[in-house]
Amino acid sequence: MHDEGTSAENVWVLNPGDKEENILSKQQKIRIRLKAYDHKALDQSAVKIVDTAKRTGAMVSGPIPLPTEKNVFTILRSPHVNKDSREQFEMRTHKRLIDILEPSSKTVDALMHLDLPAGVDIEIKL
């Protein structure tokens, strides 16, 4: 009986002689983490990366939104007295995760030459 929710691509048949690390190393993956203070620039970058990867024939998972990091800074409004009067500032760091499965050399080359907006931090893991 075959489940409708599973596809034939995701099913691995294990032979007794196979080691798990050999099976997992057959599928390559590039993991890209994007960080930015501006969520619009971040989303534009994510769309560019996904379009470029799909155009070169790679399978793409994402962009997956990760939790937004919020740093709050509280300062006194007055330089001398009035401890009760304070002001708060916050910095939000938005994050996205993109997985590129089975990338070809053409995919890697296209991603290297991609021009992304300023202010977006990119972290790539192979």
pLDDT, one tens digit per residue, over 56-93 is 888 888 899 999 999 999 999 988 888 888 999 999 99
Mean pLDDT of 2-20: 47
State the residue for tokens 């992304």. 116
**Spatial distance between the Cα atoms of 35 and 96, rounded to a whole number of angstroms:** 7
Instruction: Kindly tell me if the per-residue pLDDT of 23 is higher than 70.
Output: no
Identity of the residue numbered 33: R
Mean pLDDT taken over the chain: 81
pTM: 0.68
Assign domain 28-125 to its CATH superfamily.
Ribosomal protein S10 (3.30.70.600)
